[in-house]
Structure 1
Amino acid sequence: MSPLEWILQLVLLGLLGAAIPFALRLERALREIRRDRAAMDGSAQGLNEAARMAEAAMVRLRASAELSGRQVAERTAAAEPLRDDLRYLVERAEALADRLEGLVRNGRPLAAEMPRPAEAPLQSQAERDLIRALAAGLPKAAR
C-alpha cells in the first residue's frame, strides 16, 4: 500500500471515530422518540376511547332529552282541557258569587224587619242558623 492510501485510510478511520459519538447520541434520541411515540399512541388510544364514550353519552343524553320533551308535551296536552274546564268553572263561580252577594245585600234589610216567631223555642243553634239563613235568602214576594 502506498503512503497516500495509508493517509486516506487513517483520515477515514478518524472520521469514523468522530462519527461514533454522534451515532450514539442519535441512537439515544431515537430511543426516546420511540418511547415517547409509544406513550403518545397510548394517549391517542385513550383520547379516542374518551371521545367514543363522550359520543355515546351525548346520544343517550339526546334520547333522554327527547323522551322528556315528549312527556312534557303529553302532560301539557292533557292539562290544557283541565285548564279550560277550570277557567269555565271559575267564571261560573264568579257569576254565582256576584249573584249571591246581590241577594245577600237585598236580604239584609228584610231580615232586620222580619218579626221573630215567639212560639216554640228552637232546639239547637243549627236550627236557629237555618231559619236565619232561609229568611235572609227569600225574596219579598215569597214571604
Structure 2
Amino acid sequence: MSPLEWGLQLVLLVLLGAAIPFALRLERALREIRRDRGAMEGSAQGLAEAARMAEAAMVRLRASAELAGRQVAERTAAAEPLRDDLRYLVERAEALADRLEGLVRAGRPLAAEAPRPAEPAVQSQAERDLLRALSLGAARGSL
C-alpha cells in the first residue's frame, strides 16, 4: 500500500471515529421518538374513545331533550282546557262581584235608616265579649 492509500484510510478511520458519537445520539433520539410515538398512539386511542363516548352522550342527551319536549307539549295541551275553564270562572266571578258590590251600595242607605233592634239583656261576660267582637267585626267590614 502506498502512503496515499494509508493517508486516505487514516482519514476515513478518523471520520468513522467522529461519526460514532453522532450515531449514538441519533440512536437515542430515534429510541425516544419510538417511545413517544407509542405514547402518542395510546393518547390517540384514548382521544378516539373519548370522542366516541362524547358522541354517545350527545345522542342520549338529544333523546332526553326530545322526550322532555314531548312531555312539556303533552302537559301544556292538557292544561289549556283548564286554563280556559279558569278564565271563564274568573270572568263570572268578577261579574258576580260587581253585581254584589252594587247591591251592597244600594243596601247601605237602607241599613242606616232601619231601626236597630233593642239589644237583649246580657246575661254573662262571655255574651258581652261576643257582642263586642261582632260589633267590631261589622265595623271593620263596612270600612
Structures share a fold, TM > 0.5? yes
Residue matched to 1:41: 41
Percent identical residues: 93
Task: State the Cα RMSD in Å.
Answer: 2.2
Q: What residue in structure 1 maps to residue 128 of structure 2?
A: none
Structure 2 distance, partners of 1:117, 1:7, is: 149
> Are 2:28 and 1:28 aligned?
yes
Give 1:105's aligned residue.
105
**Residue of structure 2 in register with 1:131 after alignment:** none
Per the TM alignment, residue 113 of structure 1 is displaced from its structure 2 partner at its CA by 5.1
Structure 2 residue runs without a partner (length 5+) = 119-143
After the TM superposition, which of the residue ranges 3-12 and 56-65 deviates more from structure 2?
Answer: 3-12
Query: How many pairs does the alignment contain?
Result: 119
- TM-score calculated relative to the size of structure 1: 0.72
Counterpart in 2 of 1:90?
90
Q: Which protein has greater RCO, CA pairs closer than 8 Å, 6+ apart?
A: 1
The SS at the match of 1:37 is helix
Instruction: Spell out the pairing of 1:55-134 with structure 2 (5 A cutoff).
Output: 55-111=55-111
Q: Decide whether aligned partners of structure 1 residues 99 and 5 sit closer, same or farther in structure 2, where only a CA change above 3 A counts.
A: same
Gaps of 5+ in 1: 119-143
TM-score by length of 2: 0.72
Q: Which residue of 1 aligns with 2:19?
A: 19
Task: Give, in angstroms, the shift of residue 115 of structure 1.
Answer: 6.9
